[in-house]
């Protein structure tokens, strides 16, 4: 096992650090920015279906559901295709309206999650085209779907999902970009710009990982907290949910993710000097609005840990701590803002003496209802 951990103390940390490589492996051979194309056989062979689809329904559980939520923003924003994102466990039992013009995308690291598998079977019976985004090759979901695209994250051992999440977002982003181009939503130059930026993401993730020492110091300050709030807007709202989930899963601190603007409809009542609030406040994407949310937290004495774009000065003056991530277009920020949040939960869990790789009561893959 020590050898498998490759010199890291835990699988989770190893997997966090593997993300630049994993993201690269996921687009390698599929995306060529210089030649201006994305090639994914599962999409290419079914392109007409995708272009004629009424809507895309994404079903998943846990972290994979959060990747689906990020994809909703990307698909609707860039490709202008209506998307619904559903918990597989709810979807399968609520007698959903599904037609032959719907495409169901099932997102699953393990490819074995019972609820997701059942949702696929139901959608197939109702005539939908079902596409899988799985990590484990040859898994049940990969076999049960009509077509699919693997994430090439490599084995994920830590129960808390990290590199599976960022590689799922990578695959879903490639699909959205490809459809946006095919639908004529993008000029060749805009397309080229996006592809080039996506190719550059592994280096930016590498840079984001450099925040590790700083994040460890922040973890030291908040390791004894009993609650934590995570806020983000737009593309970074699902990242806030995922940040909160990571903290809950491995440190057993109660954490909630919220869209920043919803704070005033409830969570703001919880804010006092004991409450750490993690806010994603990258420069692209409702920046001014998030800054005013940060001010609201400040005026109630909440402790603010802000994830900001490199060089940000405004938030630095207000927040208690800032962690920088490299600049990127808004659609790609989740791949970067997620990194410090993974590290924060890792360090806090470790300092609390928790079993990071195998948290209590959780399973890597939930194969029963
Ligand atoms: C479990 C795992 C999570 C994972 C979820 C969905 O709860 O602990 O890390 O996100 O299942 O799993 P899947 O394999 O379908 O992505």
Is 338 close to ligand 1, i.e. is its CB under 6 Å away?
Answer: no
Question: How far does residue 63's CA lie from ligand 1's centre (Å)?
Answer: 6
- Rounded CA gap, 292 and 298, in Å? 10
Question: How far does residue 313's CA lie from ligand 1's centre (Å)?
Answer: 37
Is 364 close to ligand 1, i.e. is its CB under 6 Å away?
Answer: yes
Residue identifier of the C-alpha nearest atom 11 of ligand 1: 365
pTM: predicted TM-score of the whole model, two decimal places:
0.97
Backbone angles phi, psi at 278, to 5 degrees: -90, 120
Cβ count within 10 A of residue 326: 20
Residue identifier of the C-alpha nearest atom 5 of ligand 1: 62
Q: In this structure, are residues 309 and 338 in contact, taking their beta carbons and an 8 Å threshold?
A: no
Q: What percent of the chain has pLDDT over 70?
A: 100
Please say if the pLDDT value at position 368 is more than 90.
no
Q: Average pLDDT in the 103-117 region?
A: 97
Indicate the helix (H) or strand (E) that contains 102.
strand 102-108
Check residue 133 and give its pLDDT.
Answer: 98
Average pLDDT of the chain is 96
Check residue 283 and give its pLDDT.
Answer: 92
Q: Average pLDDT in the 76-90 region?
A: 96
pLDDT digits (tens, 9 = 90+) for 252-266: 999 999 999 999 999
Ligand 1 pocket test, pick from 12, 61, 144 with the greatest ligand atom count within 8 Å of Cβ, gives 61
Is 172 close to ligand 1, i.e. is its CB under 6 Å away?
Answer: no
Is 139 close to ligand 1, i.e. is its CB under 6 Å away?
Answer: no
**3-state class of 282 per DSSP?**
coil
Q: Average pLDDT in the 84-109 region?
A: 96
Check residue 284 and give its pLDDT.
Answer: 86
Is 162 close to ligand 1, i.e. is its CB under 6 Å away?
Answer: no
pLDDT band at residue 36 under the 50/70/90 scheme = confident
Cβ neighbors of 101 (< 8 A, separation 6 or more) are 52, 53, 54, 55
Q: Average pLDDT in the 167-194 region?
A: 95
Q: Average pLDDT in the 180-196 region?
A: 93
Ligand 1 pocket test, pick from 59, 60, 64, 159 with the greatest ligand atom count within 8 Å of Cβ, gives 64
364 is an active site residue: yes
Backbone angles phi, psi at 84, to 5 degrees: -120, 140
């Amino acid at each position: 096992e020590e050898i498998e951990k490759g010199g890291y103390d835990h699988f989770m940390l190893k997997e966090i650090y593997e993300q630049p490589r994993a993201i690269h492996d996921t687009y390698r051979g599929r995306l060529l920015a210089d030649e201006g194309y994305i090639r994914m056989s599962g999409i290419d062979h079914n392109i007409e279906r995708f272009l004629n689809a009424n809507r895309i329904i994404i079903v998943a559980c846990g972290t994979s559901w959060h990747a689906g939520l990020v994809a909703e923003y990307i698909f609707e924003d860039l490709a202008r295709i209506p998307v619904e994102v559903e918990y597989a466990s709810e979807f399968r039992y609520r007698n959903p309206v599904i037609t032959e013009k719907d495409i169901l995308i099932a997102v699953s690291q393990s490819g074995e999650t019972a609820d997701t598998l059942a949702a696929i079977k139901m959608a197939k019976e109702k005539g939908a085209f079902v596409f899988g985004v799985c990590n484990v090759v040859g898994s049940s979901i990969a076999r049960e779907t009509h077509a699919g695209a693997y994430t090439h994250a490599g084995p994920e051992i830590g129960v808390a999902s990290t590199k599976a999440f960022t590689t799922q977002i990578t695959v879903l982003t490639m699909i959205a970009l490809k459809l946006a181009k095919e639908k004529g939503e993008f000029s060749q130059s805009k397309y080229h710009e996006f592809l080039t930026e996506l190719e550059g993401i592994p280096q930016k993730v590498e840079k984001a990982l450099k925040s590790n020492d700083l994040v460890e110091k922040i973890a030291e300050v908040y390791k004894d907290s009993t609650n934590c709030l995570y806020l983000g807007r737009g593309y970074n709202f699902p990242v806030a949910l995922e940040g909160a989930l990571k903290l809950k899963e491995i440190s057993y601190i109660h954490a909630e993710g919220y869209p920043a603007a919803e704070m005033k409809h409830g969570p703001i009542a919880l804010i006092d000097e004991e409450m750490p609030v993690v806010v994603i406040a990258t420069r692209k994407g409702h920046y001014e609005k998030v800054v005013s949310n940060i001010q609201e937290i400040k005026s109630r004495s909440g402790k603010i840990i802000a994830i900001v774009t490199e060089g940000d000065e405004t938030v630095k003056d207000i927040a208690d701590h800032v962690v920088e991530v490299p600049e990127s277009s808004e659609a790609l920020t989740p791949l970067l803002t997620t990194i410090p949040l993974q590290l924060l939960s890792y360090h806090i869990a470790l300092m609390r003496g928790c079993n990071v790789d195998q948290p209590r009561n959780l399973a890597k893959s939930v194969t029963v209802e």
